[in-house]
Structure 1
């Protein structure tokens, strides 16, 4: 009787081990039947890292197909579409300090996608600009409208927006402190316009 029990116990143990080995086999073989299936559940997840580097071409195509979406998400939340392009020779800046007579320290302003559309924000190190002798200056008076002002008035406005917003009176407002500038051949600002944003 004892030899029969031992035989049955041994057969049960071998059967259990065999079932365990069979269950582990396909996971360990990255080129087996389950390797090509992405939807096979948690067991293929352990095989995923070993096979990810091989299909680099298909994942690159997926990134190309998405177009600007990955870079949009990196710049902020929202679904804004293609970033705006400025006219040739124009750039947007955000003053890093209140402008002083004849000069401006400002960071390049880049578009950032927000739930309300693209908004510009200064990024990186500030650059130093001089103003040309005959600067054309404009302040925003609302959506899409501006008023030509002496450049000194623009300097005061930009400084007030940075340090004392209560000093800014209608029809002007502090609407993001972003300015569209153009530079002359010497690299000096020859036009500067405040960009209105709600």
Structure 2
């Protein structure tokens, strides 16, 4: 009977030794990839790539890496364009840069890029100012021009329920290229 007990003990020891050898193989193979091992470099790069993606996005690379933590870049409805006003608008016109989405720790945020384009406003333009997350108020276009100018030059002049939140506007243009709708985009 002692012989059977010894055999079981040796068999159990052999199984444990075999399992230990298998687990030892995993890291040795991972470490064979080079200094630090491929396992050491692949695991950390999987998590920080999202954070690293944001840091390397400076030139709008976020869309190239599938958006990192942000997911896919937003798609605007047909005919809509995001712009960042470049100088305070004057009566009837504005200069604005095309705004492109960039993945940030606060989700997708639009930033103006390139040379500013000159826009004029249609006679019946619809203007909206942001009053918080997802909320807007329709205002006379002159009020929007004053608001945009104050946000660029004197943000303390902007009173509640409005705030300055990035100077980004969603616009549509008519068949003559004149702005027919302009809506401020709110962002915390």
Report TM bin, short chain: 0.5 to 0.7
**1:89 partnered with 2:82:** no
> Partner residue of 1:41?
34
What do the CA deviations read for 1:84-103 (whole angstroms, capped 9, x no partner)? 00000000000000000010
Retained in 2: the 8 A contact 1:182–1:192? Answer: yes
> Partner residue of 1:169?
159
**1:180 partnered with 2:170:** yes
The within-5 A match list for 1:13-162 is: 39-41=32-34, 73=57, 74-75=61-62, 79-162=69-152
Retained in 2: the 8 A contact 1:78–1:114? Answer: no
What do the CA deviations read for 1:119-169 (whole angstroms, capped 9, x no partner)? 011011100001001100000000111000000000000000000000000
Deviation, structure 1 residue 75: 3.5
Deviation, structure 1 residue 179: 0.3
Q: Within 1, Cα distance between the matches of 2:93 and 2:75?
A: 26
Q: Within 2, Cα distance between the matches of 1:87 and 1:39?
A: 51
Q: Within 1, Cα distance between the matches of 2:174 and 2:87?
A: 22
Secondary structure of the residue aligned to 2:175 is coil
Secondary structure of the residue aligned to 1:161 is helix
Question: What stretches of structure 1 of length at least 5 have no aligned partner?
Answer: 1-37, 43-69
Deviation, structure 1 residue 79: 1.4
Q: Within 2, Cα distance between the matches of 1:158 and 1:122?
A: 15
Secondary structure of the residue aligned to 1:79 is helix
Q: TM-score, normalised by structure 2?
A: 0.67
Query: Number of residues paired by the alignment?
Result: 137
Retained in 2: the 8 A contact 1:78–1:115? Answer: no
Q: Within 1, Cα distance between the matches of 2:34 and 2:62?
A: 34
How large is the RMSD of aligned CA atoms in angstroms?
Answer: 2.6
Q: Within 2, Cα distance between the matches of 1:188 and 1:161?
A: 23
Q: TM-score, normalised by structure 1?
A: 0.64
Question: What stretches of structure 2 of length at least 5 have no aligned partner?
Answer: 1-30, 36-52
Work out which of the two has the higher radius of gyration on C-alpha atoms and give 1 or 2: 1
